[in-house]
Structure 1
Amino acid sequence: MIFSVYIEIKTRSVKTRFKTIVVSDVHLGTKGSKAKEISRFLKMYECENLILNGDIIDGWQLKKSGSWKRKHTRFFNRIIKMIENTGTKVFYLRGNHDDFLEQILPLQIGNLSIQLDMIYESNGKKYFITHGDVFDSITTNLRWIAYIGDVGYTFLLWLNRVVNFYRYKRGLPYFSLSKYVKGKVKSAVSYIDQYEEELAKMAKAKGCDGIICGHIHKAENRMIDGIEYLNSGDWVETMSALAEDHEGNWQLIYYNEINFKSSEDHVILPVQNPTHQIIPFKEVSFNKSDDPDLENPSFRL
């Protein structure tokens, strides 16, 4: 008797390796934070340098109504794996929502460095990297107004979830309410334009070729008066990051545009004429996750 056995082989494509990846405004500790998505994103790519450009942890919300969940811890577990497995150098820069870091700045533990800002040199160019709140007169001089603005933005995000829940039920695509509001309010548009121009001026004053920032939750990659202006966006709505290849070219990567399915293919190979009949064992499941990040790895630095 002739038996034909088919073996399923799972092949993974080689990970794209960048020189540097920049993410900002993750706001861990809030309901709007896309912690699962950014952990999955960082698992897709490898990089020599990972720059966490501020507002990674939302200390403001954690003091009020925020809560820390397992998915928020998994984000840092992913960072640790990047350090241990591929030797990634991680730079965590202070933002206004994680300004509690000022109490320990500067701090370096192995490949992890926590600091205020930095000058990044690559392929003959210099970039000034900062979260961006230091150039925002509202967050630096009128902190109470900034808190009120934070409450309003939090309400918009809550309303955004409600609106998109009903849109999802009706089969409609995602709609960013806060982005729509900011786009309609002339003062907000004017503020963003002025913010970007001021940052470009600061980079030029420091003798840099470009500026890399976050803070305003608006991803951007454009030239302003000869200065390369780069904004990594956020992981509350936009879900975007900046990535630099080894030739010094920068690009914006959006989570919703990544084809995760292409990273894993299944190939079925036939095996002809086995010498004996194969009797399968019974399958036993212990409900163990296939994803090591979803287990309980030790959290260490």
Structure 2
Amino acid sequence: MKTQFKTIVISDIHLGTKGSKAKEVVRFLKKHKCDNLILNGDIIDGWQLKKSGTWKRKHTRFFNRILKMMDNDRTKVFYLRGNHDDFLDQILPLEVGNLSIQKDLIYESRGKKYFVLHGDIFDSITTNLRWIAYLGDIGYTFLLWLNRQVNYHRRKKGLPYFSLSQYLKGKVKSAVSYIDKYEEELAMMAKAKGCDGIICGHIHKAESRIIDGIEYHNSGDWVETMSALAEDHDGNWQLIFYNEIDFCRPEPDNVIPFPESEAYKTVAFDRKNDDLDSPPIRI
């Protein structure tokens, strides 16, 4: 039995890399149905594919699953451009049936508005100093390789999965400071746009919390955390972690509920133009 949600947000799958958990995200999507699916950036890792990345059959299966959701479940899919799939700049905005490819959007649900974007626009290194970002990507790729070696030996000893990079992010003061500033800047942008919340990805850190009265939601990633953000039909947001799902049970007991909001009757999607300050376009 599938779990039904109104909206599911997934980001940072990085298809085309060794670290991508393509099989896991496909299995997750087979269990969870939704009316709207937001692919919030870095779904395909164009940076790695240009260098040493490899496209495998399991990566194609991800898009096969998306097509089946669109065809069988009438799911509306919104693919938002990230920094690693910036090649989409050549074609967006684009609409084909239930698929829309764009930079960002405003999602309205239960009387609240959420600004949805990948989040790299607020990363000055990624935006302005691309060559430094590439060097950082090389270092992160090495860290993921090291993480695989560590977890290979942990599995042999019967130990659970351990995220080395998440551990380092929590221990290195500069990383903690960067993440805090990133989250605060996004919350400020949502407030400036007249939105009640922000939905993003990019930093591979799943989170749902209130920042200065603004709902901050980060869907995490499918390289380490293997997490998704989901909204039920009552307007409640939840973080779902793949490693905590019991696939033998009809209903997952792994969700982290976000505080309930007052129920309203209007639900709509708005899409932004290339300019962040331009008025939204009704879909």
Match of 2:65 among 73, 78, 87: 78
> 1:17 and 2:4 equivalent?
yes
Q: What is the alpha-carbon distance in structure 2 between the residues aligned to residue 61 and residue 104 of structure 1?
A: 20
**Is the partner of 1:47 in helix, strand or coil?**
strand
Give the aligned partner of residue 194 of structure 2. Answer: 207
Give the aligned partner of residue 160 of structure 1. Answer: 147
**Is the partner of 1:157 in helix, strand or coil?**
helix
Give the aligned partner of residue 261 of structure 2. Answer: none
Asked if the contact 2:122–2:185 (Cα under 8 Å) also holds between the matched residues in 1, the reply is yes
Kindly provide the CA deviation profile for residues 80-115 of structure 1, in whole angstroms up to 9, marking residues without a partner as x: 000000100000000000000000010000000000
How does 1:244-255 map onto structure 2 within 5 Å? 244-255=231-242
The number of residue pairs the alignment matches comes to: 251
> 1:110 and 2:97 equivalent?
yes
Match of 1:50 among 37, 40, 45: 37
Kindly provide the CA deviation profile for residues 100-135 of structure 1, in whole angstroms up to 9, marking residues without a partner as x: 000001000000000000000000000000000001
How does 1:136-151 map onto structure 2 within 5 Å? 136-151=123-138
Asked if the contact 2:208–2:215 (Cα under 8 Å) also holds between the matched residues in 1, the reply is yes
How does 1:124-273 map onto structure 2 within 5 Å? 124-263=111-250
1:23 CA displacement: 0.2
Give the aligned partner of residue 288 of structure 1. Answer: none
- C-alpha root-mean-square deviation of aligned residues, in Å? 0.9
Instruction: Return the TM-score normalized by structure 1.
Output: 0.82
Amino acid across the alignment from 2:236: N
* Runs of 5+ unmatched residues, structure 2: 252-283
Q: What is the alpha-carbon distance in structure 1 between the residues aligned to residue 178 and residue 92 of structure 2?
A: 30
Amino acid across the alignment from 1:244: E
1:263 CA displacement: 3.8
Q: What is the alpha-carbon distance in structure 2 between the residues aligned to residue 258 and residue 184 of structure 1?
A: 27
> 1:89 and 2:89 equivalent?
no
Give the aligned partner of residue 285 of structure 1. Answer: none
Asked if the contact 2:17–2:53 (Cα under 8 Å) also holds between the matched residues in 1, the reply is yes
**Is the partner of 2:221 in helix, strand or coil?**
coil
* Runs of 5+ unmatched residues, structure 1: 1-12, 265-301
**Is the partner of 1:215 in helix, strand or coil?**
coil
**Is the partner of 1:241 in helix, strand or coil?**
strand
Q: What is the alpha-carbon distance in structure 2 between the residues aligned to residue 253 and residue 172 of structure 1?
A: 22
Q: What is the alpha-carbon distance in structure 2 between the residues aligned to residue 48 and residue 170 of structure 1?
A: 42
Percent of aligned pairs with the same residue?
A: 82
Asked if the contact 2:3–2:250 (Cα under 8 Å) also holds between the matched residues in 1, the reply is no
Asked if the contact 2:82–2:120 (Cα under 8 Å) also holds between the matched residues in 1, the reply is yes
Kindly provide the CA deviation profile for residues 227-285 of structure 1, in whole angstroms up to 9, marking residues without a partner as x: 00000000000000000011110000000111101249xxxxxxxxxxxxxxxxxxxxx
Q: What is the alpha-carbon distance in structure 2 between the residues aligned to residue 102 and residue 242 of structure 1?
A: 25
**Greater RCO, 1 or 2 (C-alpha within 8 Å, sep 6+):** 1
Q: What is the alpha-carbon distance in structure 1 between the residues aligned to residue 234 and residue 6 of structure 2?
A: 9
Match of 1:64 among 51, 60, 80: 51
1:167 CA displacement: 1.1
